[in-house]
Structure formats: structure tokens, C-alpha cells
Structure 1
Amino acid sequence: MARQELARFLRDRRAGLRPHEIGLTTTDTARRTPGLRREEVAELAHMSVDYYTRLEQARGPRPSARILDALARTLRLTPAERSHLFRLAGSNAPPAGDAVRRVRPHVARMLERLPETAAVVTDAAYGVVAWNPLARALLGGDLAPGTTNLARRRFLDRGPADANSGTEEFGHIVVARLRRAADRYPHDPQLIALLAELHAGSEEFRQIWQTRPVHAPGHRTKTVDHPRVGLLRLNCDVLLVPEDDQEVVLITADPGSPTQRALHTLALQAT
């Protein structure tokens, strides 16, 4: 059944593409259908026409990740379609490249609509790619994209908001996520450099790394002694941006609590 679904998916995608959409110029007016021909897909994906034909006829062998990636590029698949293609072939889709270090506009706009929630977006290696004003006021320091990494900050350069309760648990969370990132992006130069820096500079990091911690994003609480508004009891929740392997960290307070009033004060000062 999966082989038949894969064949149908390939046929449908091929039929939905026009030659000019993938850079082909043709004066052939004898095409019976407007989509690409099998031989065109095979040539662009660097495989034999016979092999591709057998895939479309559900007669081919299970395609390798290299073949699937070539087909995804040739057929101009979106990230979701690419993942679907791999699932149909019975494989897990590997990342298409290095970790994504830009924030999608709709995610950035969401942060602007959370005036009394501190929100930070981090990439797969805990680099900050977006934040809102309350997050800057709460966490302190420079949160500029490309310059701040929360893993580095946790293990090598703790700020005032990093040295309170919950930091031990957060250390294990950080290492678990970095281990996942290392598996998914083994050739990412920025990630390789970060891991080398953390291993060289933190005995705590090295010890936690050896334990191979596993952690799924979820709810946790932490206490922060903020230099301007005092002791804060914060709730931290994570929303996933799976297509970019990013996390949106939402930091809030219990309704009606002193911490909520303190966050309100910080939010007013941050605007």
C-alpha cells in the first residue's frame, strides 16, 4: 500500500509542475499533458529513466535518502511535502541542511502580540533568533540575533536571570537539545564550534553530556531574583516551530500574583 501511495504522490507532483517552473525551456507543442515528463524528472534528479519509471509504477526498490532528496529538489517539494515523501518511502526525513537561524515573519509577529509575556525564539542549538521587549527586560543582556546563545550563557557566562532556581534542570534540557541537534546537523559549522567551546570551557557541561540526557519540551517553573523588580516565580512553556526545528519559549506568571504585577511593571518600562 505504501509503495502505491508513493507512486501516486510522485505522479501527482510531476503532473503538477510545468517545465518553466523548474527552469526548462521547451518548444515542444506535442505534449499531451502540461506536466513534466518522466525522462525530465529522471535527468534532473540524476537517475535512470527506467528506475524512476519503476518508482512511479510501484515496482521499484525502496529508494535511498539520496534518491528521495534528489526527487524532493527536482519536484520542488515544500518541507512538509518532503517529509511526507520520506514517510511514504518508509524513512525519516533528515534535515535539508544546517540549522535554521532566521525567524519566520508570522512567528515574529506573534511575539509582538504578547505584551505581558516574555517570548524568545531559539534555533536548534539554542541561538536566539527573535525576542520581544519584555524578554530583553526580564533576561537582561544583549539578545540580538546571531550574538546570543542560551547554551553558552547557561554554561559559560551566566547573567543575573540565569543564576537562580531551575538552572540545574535547564542544564540537562540544554544538553539534551544540543545532542539532538548534533545528530540532526552533524556538519553545521556553528554547532560544531559551539560544542567544542562548551566542552572546553565547562566541566559541568562535559559531565552532563556524558549522561546522554533525554528531555521533551514542556512546562517548567523557575525562580529569578531580578535586579529591578525582585524575586519572580516564572512559568516557562514551549511552542514548537517544527519546520525550522525552533522553539518559542513563553515566560509568564500566575494570574494575580506578585510576579504578574512585576512583569506588568517591566513591560511598561520596556515599551
Structure 2
Amino acid sequence: MYPGSALGEFLRSRRARLQPEDVGLRSGVRHRRVAGLRREELAPLAGVSVGYYTRLEQGQSPNVSEEVLDSVARVLRLDDDEVAHLHRLARVTRAREKARPERLRPGIGRMVDSFTETPAIAVGRRGDILAWNPLAHALLAPHWPFEAEEKPNFVRVDFLETDFSRGLYADWEQKARDDIAYLEGSLGRFPGDEGLTALIEELLTLSPEFRTLWTEHPVSNCASIARAYRHPDVGVMTLTAEFLRTPDDEGQGVTMFQAEAGSPSEERLRRLAGSVRRPASAQPAGR
């Protein structure tokens, strides 16, 4: 289980995607006991011994060079996001300081509340919604009390409240993969976050869908994602979620949801905004 075997699990998942023919080798035998590329096939192509590569997958090569990682990434045909993730995992194998408790930064909370025509949320490294404005609440979780001190974790909702989440997202499976990619990225940055690993263990236990998708270890920077939402009041909207990380990169960031200018989605989002009442606590103070 992550994070102790993070590097090995990730590398094995990427080896499983390739066949010998993909890297210019003959398959050799008709029936292969291991899916995908074998260690002894990958290692020579990456310019390392089989023993060294085996230790790398086992997390026993804390001083692995960037050159070796890049060579392995080349053989595995990793994209830019996956290469960055590989380097993070290799570094944190030897650095697992306990993560500090996560608290909403007041300035981020004020920023989120300042948006009135744009759904906006503050998100933590575990997928917890730390703050939201009324329009984001109406879009993402109208069944959840807006003023509740404990707000939802979007990954937990997507996998454990599937009647709701499958109705909201036109492509639920892609949203689920993006959720796991978000957790993968956080785990690469914060391997000492016990709450994060507890959440993953919970979802592995309770959600068959999560167990299946987790074995694939999807990776993405989740910075800009277009998605179709099926809102029960205004209909289908295609919105782009832009995730802005805080400069100190403690995993906390702000996501804003925007529609293309002049599109039917923009008009539907405007209608949704018109139907939302801002709570008294969010109303501008009178003079």
C-alpha cells in the first residue's frame, strides 16, 4: 500500500501497459506469467542492471540519479506529468516527514467568497472542500448543508455517493480517474499525511470502483479540466475547472469553474447563479 511501496506500484503499473514488441523486443514465450514488460527486459533498455532496477522498484535505491529515472521514464514512455510524478516518488522514498494539519488559509477563504458569478472552491490535498461559495455549492453538492462546518470530500462523494455523482457527471469514469490522479499527486508530495493514506485505505475497502481504478495509478496535474455537468435545474453545462495552487504548495488551492463565453453553458450557469441566494453571512455589510 502507498506510500511505502509508492515507487514500485507506479513502476509496475507502467510496465504492465507495455509489451516487448512496443520497445522493439520479441515476446519470447507465448504465455507470460507477468502482464506487460518484465524487469529483465526493461533494465537493459534503461542502461541499468536487473538487480539495480529491482531494488529501485523495492524502494531500496534512495540515491538514484535523475539520469537513471529519465532513462527508465523513456523506456516506459511516460508523459511529462508521469515523469514529474516518478521523480517526486523517488525523492520521497527517503523523506517522509509527518504532514502538518491542514487548515484553510483565511485569505483563500475570502477569495472564494468574493466570487459571485463564478463557482469557486478551496480544496485541500486530500480532496476536502475547505470553503465554497454559494454557486459552487449549488453546482457540486446542493444536497449538502451549505453552512456545515465539515464540508464534503469530493473524492469520497464521487466514490461512495455514486447515485448522486453518476447523475451529476456526464462522464463519471473520467471524473473518477481524475480524482485518483489528484490523490496520486498529493501522495507524491505528502507521503507523511496519515489522513491521506487513511482516506485511500477507506476507499479501497468500501468502493470496488476505486479498487479497480487505483491499480492503474492515473497521473495528471489536474490544472485545467473541461467537464460536462448534468444539473437538475438548468440542464447540461460544459465547464472548465482551473486549479490554482498556493505558492507555498502545501497542497491547498482554489478551483474556479468557467463556461465558454457566449455558449449555452454560460447562459445556464448565469441562470443557476440567478437562482442562488447568498446567505446572510456572505452578504456585503451595509453602510
TM-score for the superposition, normalised by structure 1: 0.59
AA at the equivalent of 1:266: L
AA at the equivalent of 1:210: T
**Higher mean displacement: 91-100 or 135-144:** 91-100
Rate the CA distance shift 1:193–1:184 in 2: closer, same or farther, 3 A: same
User: How do 1:1-271 residues align onto structure 2 when only pairs under 5 Å count?
Assistant: 97-98=98-99, 100-139=101-140, 140-142=142-144, 144=148, 146-158=150-162, 160=164, 162-163=166-167, 164-243=169-248, 244-270=250-276, 271=278
Contact 1:111/1:131 (CA < 8 Å) preserved in 2?
A: yes
Task: Tell me the CA shift for residue 239 of structure 1.
Answer: 0.7
CA distance in 2, matches of 1:94, 1:117: 39
AA at the equivalent of 1:125: R
The residue number in structure 1 matching 2:15 is none
Contact 2:238/2:265 (CA < 8 Å) preserved in 1?
A: yes
Question: Does the residue aligned with 1:211 lie in a helix, a strand or coil?
Answer: coil
Instruction: Could you tell me which runs of 5 or more consecutive residues in structure 1 were left unpaired when the two chains were aligned.
Output: 1-90
Task: Tell me the CA shift for residue 264 of structure 1.
Answer: 1.8
AA at the equivalent of 1:223: A
Rate the CA distance shift 1:192–1:158 in 2: closer, same or farther, 3 A: same
Contact 1:117/1:250 (CA < 8 Å) preserved in 2?
A: yes
Task: Tell me the CA shift for residue 247 of structure 1.
Answer: 2.6
CA distance in 2, matches of 1:94, 1:241: 22
- Which whole-Å deviations, capped at 9, do the CAs of 1:54-105 have from their partners, x for residues lacking one? xxxxxxxxxxxxxxxxxxxxxxxxxxxxxxxxxxxxx889676436532212
Question: Does the residue aligned with 1:129 lie in a helix, a strand or coil?
Answer: strand
CA distance in 1, matches of 2:227, 2:253: 18
Contact 1:166/1:221 (CA < 8 Å) preserved in 2?
A: no
Question: Does the residue aligned with 1:232 lie in a helix, a strand or coil?
Answer: strand
AA at the equivalent of 2:143: G
TM-score for the superposition, normalised by structure 2: 0.56
- Which whole-Å deviations, capped at 9, do the CAs of 1:135-166 have from their partners, x for residues lacking one? 01111222645341111111111364653223
Rate the CA distance shift 1:230–1:114 in 2: closer, same or farther, 3 A: same
Task: Tell me the CA shift for residue 180 of structure 1.
Answer: 3.4
Rate the CA distance shift 1:264–1:194 in 2: closer, same or farther, 3 A: same
The residue number in structure 2 matching 1:13 is none
CA distance in 2, matches of 1:95, 1:119: 32
AA at the equivalent of 2:161: D
The residue number in structure 2 matching 1:31 is none
Rate the CA distance shift 1:209–1:145 in 2: closer, same or farther, 3 A: farther
Contact 2:185/2:219 (CA < 8 Å) preserved in 1?
A: no
Rate the CA distance shift 1:160–1:206 in 2: closer, same or farther, 3 A: closer
Aligned CA-pair RMSD: 2.6
Task: Tell me the CA shift for residue 184 of structure 1.
Answer: 4.1
Contact 2:130/2:151 (CA < 8 Å) preserved in 1?
A: no
Q: Percent identity?
A: 31
CA distance in 2, matches of 1:97, 1:146: 23
CA distance in 2, matches of 1:202, 1:250: 28
Q: State the number of aligned residues.
A: 181
